[in-house]
Structure 1
Amino acid sequence: MNKSIYRPDVDGLRAVAVMAVIAGHAFEEWFPRGYLGVDVFFVISGFVITLSLVSRTSASFGAFFAAFSLRRIKRLLPAMLVCIGLTCAILLLIDPAPKASLRTGAAALFGASNFSLYFQELDYFSPSIRYNSFTHTWSLGVEEQFYLLFPILFWFAYKPSWTQDVQRFLFVILSLSVLSLLGFVVYQASAPMAAYYMMPLRFWELGIGVASAAILYHRPDMLQNAGRFLPAPILIAAMTMVFIVPLGGAFVGHILIVVLTTALLFVGVKNEDQTRLLTNRPARYVGNISYSLYLWHWPFLAFGLLAPYSLWANPVVSICSAFLAAILSYHFVEQPFQRVKTPQPKLWHFAGAFASVLCVIALVAAGNSYRKSSGGSRIEAAMHPEFLALPGSGLPFNPTCVVDGRSRQLKPDTFDNCTFAPLAREEKTLWAMGDSHAGHLQGALLRLREDYGYGVHLVETPGKSFPVVEAGGFAPRSKLFQEVQRNWKPGDIVVLSRLYFSRTDPLSVRQTFGRWIEEVGSFADELERLGIGLLLVGPPPMFMFEDIRACVPDDELSCSIDRSRLEELTDIVHRDLSRLAGRHENAEFIDIFSKLCPPTSKVCSPNQDGYFIFRDRDHLNVEGAAQISQHLQTAIEVLEK
């Protein structure tokens, strides 16, 4: 950044942001909203990038964009390459199933890890996300995508030569920011993962930083007395409280932290005495290394989970290790590359950066191939596939037959791709519908088709049961059901399954269960009039481990849960499902809990005979589903009598 517009308090703000993020990730119970430090980074990024551009001139947009892009590459790529390369090397040694992490790391090198996480359906707030060593790079993806858009907006709405008139630029930025904020608030409820990961819905935070910089650059005296009304220590204390105390809805904390960050940027213009908390030497140094520190803190915390008996399992050791790595990265990677003079961007600069990325990816891929050829890990060997390929087409079940209305949309051919006619003309079709707990029956349903010739239809709608009782309904499920109604015939059977328990500790029956039972009762009446059967599949065991990689396949007590802890809840669900089936001659209830966790067992285990039958804490894999196929067939035979 131009020396004349350097702001030491901004380095201090970076320190606050990175320490909040680290505290939130390492000590979540004390800093439940420490992740909002990323929002501080977004505002700072918009602010600093704008100040770095306002005093620059270029003859053409091409030259301007090339120079801007090269500066960003020099700033971000070297440290990221080193961090991702070394982290992947460690993962190949300690991570028994590194696929998700390696995929996210590769996407991060192209500024697209937020897309990778979104399309992998990896929720930032789910426990298992902590096992992905590059989850935190989603925010870098947001910034890098912003860096592709912002130079275009800056050049055509502002231009470096228009130093006295900033109104049009502010109008464009603030208009886009308002639209982005509205989308962010709306999607918090309907698509929270999109609201969290996607740049257009995060643009408002970077946009506020941009607008702040534009205002202060053109009117530096406009808010010179702001400190009288907004003392910096009070603002910093308020920011700390937001990190610690959850306030209001999901979006309230984001808005509060952006407002407080913006206020501190204004206060710091001519109130250096008030900003000593941010401008002292230790704070500025932590701010200087904050990028490398952000890069390294999450991998070390993930190492502690993947190697629970190592020193890294202690979060304090992990954080200290991250600080050491960040210091080395800053002085021996970041700074040397920043000092390299590139007054005129050349094609080979960009080609070299691209080649470096490909080289790291190739080395990691080679290491992973060698690891697999050497036998991989015992956990990988113990894992069965999550789904089978679809008959005939060979397409993957996910995403072909998974519809969530977000990254996996209902397509014109979804119904046809996920519906398979009976192998014999006189056989029935099993119409399976429901959330992901219907989807995890796929292995059992395709086994029945192979053994008995049944037709099968299955499209899962994650988070949406059938009948849909969740607020707002779900239009894709309604469209799919209309197709089912046009194709079913007397003698067919509808298979319903759903998530019955909360995923919280302590476990509880989901609040929607009672209303769902009522809807299913009415649905059973309709099916009875049509001569169609109904199978009600009960809950499987639910475990409390965060990730299957935390389990030992050869130890059935590993990750197990006391059966008595689940029996009371399971009995409630079984009672209501049995009563409903008892009131309808065309309905049958299937108890899969007792099959997967026999009454003679004191504990329920996610593995049997050294192999996992679950893919996560409550979803069966192909082998687990196959184990209950005969239970389904027995129920079908009862309905046929």
Structure 2
Amino acid sequence: MKMSQKNMSPIEATETGRPRYRPDIDGLRAVAVAAVVLFHAFPRLLPGGFVGVDLFFVISGYLITRILCTDLQAGRYSIATFYARRVRRIFPALALVLTTTYVLGWFCLFNGEFKQLGKHIIAGVGFVSNWVLWGEAGYFDQAADTKPLLHLWSLSVEEQYYVFWPLLLAFAFKRGRVLITIVGVAILSFVLNVLLIPHHAAAAFFLPGSRVWELLAGALFAHLPQLQDRRGFRILLAPQYQNVLSTLGFALCIGSFIGFNSQLAFPGWWALLPVLGACLLIGAGIEGWVNQRVLAHPVAVGLGKISYPLYLWHWVLLTYATIIAGGNSPAFVRRGIVAISVGLAWLTTIVVERPVRFGPSRIAKVLVPCLAMLVVAYLGQMTYMRDGLDFRKGYSPNADVNTAKLGAGHEFVKASCGVASADQHLFQFCETDKRAVSHYAVWGDSKADALYWGLVRESSPGQSWTIIGRPSCAPMVGMRRTSSYVGDDSKDCVMADQKALHALIANPDLGTVVLVTAARVLTGQTYERTGDSRRDPSAALDGLDSAISALQRAGKHVALVVDNPTLPDPRSCMDRKPLALHVVRAALGVTAINASAKCAISYQKNLSRTTSYRAVIEQVKQRHPDLLVYDPASVLCDLKSGVCPIAMNGKFLYSYGDHISDYANGRIADQFLPLLRPSAIATSHDPSTRNVGTN
């Protein structure tokens, strides 16, 4: 006996066998995309707006499963037809946005950035952006707001779901195990998500295994109509509960938008709230009060219909505005970008999407979008393989933008640093000069890596170098960082330091060890002694002291390089080519160019910023009179004028963040290496010449 329209479940199919259109689902899409756009444009206004992506996951899981279940029940299931529909739905707008992103990048991005964009375009076409971004996540990662295609990670998660779910669902359907399959896989995925969050937050955020439970939550609600004969589900779907479900679901979503922020360990347990909210709104059906009065409102439905291209466009435009302006653009610019994004989304829907998506199903509507994506992929591959097409000229009046690089000298090294292969995962920096046996080593964090390449390139024969270290992990012994720090796990840091010290001491060929660490890592964090939960202000000093003592007892000569001045990321100190046009500067609220000059700081300001850090260095020096302390300030600053610039002699001194460039590390190596010769070390032990090379 067929159900009447009046008594039909809110998520039941129509009597024609096709899923019934629900305008409130488009309205829910509008809520999701509005939250994401507002979060990206005005993060303080809606600090938890990023969970709009989680709403999209639930909606996608619901709609795709409903379509597949309807086709399976009607006996017209076809995997080829399913993928053809996906191509017609997703490829046209994506190809257009990727092409536009590439063209804008041609004019706006420097070579390294354009090369990375090429990689991200390839990842976007292949729907593996989430995997690529996961691999990039961490200390060295380019700022998120300067990656025009960062937002494609969520689209990639959905596409990966589309690959396995139709096949798994069809398999489960034939065996009558749909419910247990949905619930079982969802539970496994959620558990993985919770397990990953404490120590592998980036993996939990980006990877499909820890996200698919959100899509399967939507899939569960698509399957509920098949469970009408089960009392619990029949009560849940009863009409008298629709208003309750609708109101509660909406409250959970809005509460997440307002109450969450980017500091949460997300997704984790927190993701349950917006996911449950979206599920309840879907389960309430069109008759639910919020669904009927808010989500099904024509304005919400209209915005929901353009939500996909709006999601694609808004982030691209916001990031390019940030890139060109050299920082967060003014509020009026961001408001304008949101309005332009809505307009572009509407045009994309009318001109590009609908002609391909709807109407007669012709093979050309599948082949042409696929061909367009292949062309875009070729552009990305070519750009990546040719290092960002360095024949393009940037616009920076005071320095060559191509000198803001780091890592020249990789051809001279091999991936080895004296630790066991099972421990190499602890060290992001683990290289040895393959041209000769290493007698010198650098131990430290990313500042050590920035210096290392200059030492490798400028060292004389027989003066080969090894580096061992990990980002944000100071070279110390017996201490554990208690403060949270991006890019590093404190327990892994403790273990890495222990392994590094053992490897350095155990290598009889290494006679000199150079310690390098960022001031913010050594004195900008709090530490405790391992085995003692009490925070100790002197722990950093004692940890560094213990490392030096252990090395000196093993007969190693030890040197310490003082951290370089902290300047802004060089990318924010470069004038982009579009800024040569007055109209662009006016539109973005940029009042002047010559950004590199604005990035300089005074030498005295550098000293005042690092007072506590330099105090620790001085105390370490007092404890270890034989310690060579070298300060590169004479290379990185004009001490006569008292200025530390971002560039010198037409070349950038910094590469990324506040890390020195190859130009700078080469100049430092020229001054520092002679101090490490045996005769110089012997001289440095004489109290009258103790601080040679320092300022």
Question: Could you tell me the TM-score, scaled by structure 1's length?
Answer: 0.85
Are 2:413 and 1:383 equivalent residues in the alignment? no
Distance 1:13 1:629 in 2: 59
Seen in structure 2, the aligned counterparts of structure 1 residues 265 and 413 have a Cα distance that, compared at 3 Å, is closer
Offset, 1:281: 0.5
Aligned counterpart in structure 2 of residue 437 of structure 1, from 413, 426, 447: 447
Aligned counterpart in structure 1 of residue 336 of structure 2, from 317, 332, 336: 317
Alignment of 1:388-537 (within 5 A): 388-392=408-412, 410=424, 418-420=431-433, 423=436, 429-449=439-459, 451=460, 453-467=462-476, 469-470=480-481, 471-474=490-493, 475=495, 478-479=498-499, 481-489=501-509, 492-501=511-520, 509-512=524-527, 514-537=538-561
Structure 2 residue identity aligned to 1:620? I
Alignment of 1:12-91 (within 5 A): 12-57=27-72, 64-91=78-105
Distance 1:278 1:546 in 2: 45
Distance 2:606 2:630 in 1: 17
Distance 2:18 2:476 in 1: 63
* Superimposed CA distance per residue, residues 349-384 of structure 1 (whole angstroms, 9 cap, x where no aligned partner): 766554322222335677997994754224574434
Are 2:350 and 1:331 equivalent residues in the alignment? yes
Offset, 1:223: 2.4
The residue matched to 2:472 in structure 1 has which SS? coil
Distance 2:462 2:332 in 1: 51
Distance 1:363 1:388 in 2: 26
Percent of aligned pairs with the same amino acid? 24
Aligned counterpart in structure 2 of residue 99 of structure 1, from 115, 130, 148: 115
Offset, 1:629: 1.4
Alignment of 1:194-343 (within 5 A): 194-219=203-228, 221=234, 222-225=236-239, 227=241, 230=244, 232-233=246-247, 235-246=249-260, 249-251=264-266, 252-268=269-285, 270-271=287-288, 275-308=292-325, 314-342=333-361
* Superimposed CA distance per residue, residues 316-355 of structure 1 (whole angstroms, 9 cap, x where no aligned partner): 1111111111001111111111114448xx7x87665543
Is contact 1:12–1:284 with CA below 8 Å preserved after alignment? yes
The residue matched to 2:656 in structure 1 has which SS? coil
Alignment of 1:585-600 (within 5 A): 585-593=625-633, 595-600=635-640
Is contact 1:495–1:534 with CA below 8 Å preserved after alignment? yes
Distance 2:309 2:668 in 1: 49
Distance 1:532 1:156 in 2: 64
Structure 2 residue identity aligned to 1:88? Y
Is contact 1:5–1:51 with CA below 8 Å preserved after alignment? no
Is contact 1:433–1:459 with CA below 8 Å preserved after alignment? yes
The residue matched to 1:510 in structure 2 has which SS? coil
Q: Which residue of 2 aligns with 1:640?
A: 682
Structure 1 residue identity aligned to 2:169? F
Q: Which has the higher contact order (CA 8 A, sep 6+)?
A: 2
Structure 1 residue identity aligned to 2:102? C
Seen in structure 2, the aligned counterparts of structure 1 residues 31 and 593 have a Cα distance that, compared at 3 Å, is farther
Distance 1:438 1:587 in 2: 17
- The number of aligned residues is 611
Seen in structure 2, the aligned counterparts of structure 1 residues 132 and 550 have a Cα distance that, compared at 3 Å, is farther
Offset, 1:175: 2.4
Seen in structure 2, the aligned counterparts of structure 1 residues 576 and 452 have a Cα distance that, compared at 3 Å, is farther
The residue matched to 1:190 in structure 2 has which SS? coil
The residue matched to 1:456 in structure 2 has which SS? strand
The residue matched to 2:213 in structure 1 has which SS? helix
Is contact 2:454–2:666 with CA below 8 Å preserved after alignment? yes
Offset, 1:197: 1.3
Seen in structure 2, the aligned counterparts of structure 1 residues 432 and 374 have a Cα distance that, compared at 3 Å, is closer
Offset, 1:585: 3.9
The residue matched to 2:558 in structure 1 has which SS? strand
Distance 1:557 1:246 in 2: 39
Is contact 2:432–2:467 with CA below 8 Å preserved after alignment? yes
Distance 1:106 1:312 in 2: 32
Seen in structure 2, the aligned counterparts of structure 1 residues 24 and 285 have a Cα distance that, compared at 3 Å, is same
Offset, 1:270: 4.0
Distance 1:83 1:123 in 2: 29
Is contact 1:157–1:172 with CA below 8 Å preserved after alignment? yes
Distance 1:354 1:304 in 2: 30
Structure 2 residue identity aligned to 1:71? R
* Superimposed CA distance per residue, residues 422-456 of structure 1 (whole angstroms, 9 cap, x where no aligned partner): 85x8xx7222122212111122221442x363121
Are 2:565 and 1:541 equivalent residues in the alignment? yes
Structure 2 residue identity aligned to 1:487? N
Seen in structure 2, the aligned counterparts of structure 1 residues 115 and 276 have a Cα distance that, compared at 3 Å, is same
Seen in structure 2, the aligned counterparts of structure 1 residues 441 and 313 have a Cα distance that, compared at 3 Å, is farther
Q: Which residue of 2 aligns with 1:560?
A: 600
Offset, 1:118: 2.3
Are 2:48 and 1:8 equivalent residues in the alignment? no
The residue matched to 2:45 in structure 1 has which SS? coil
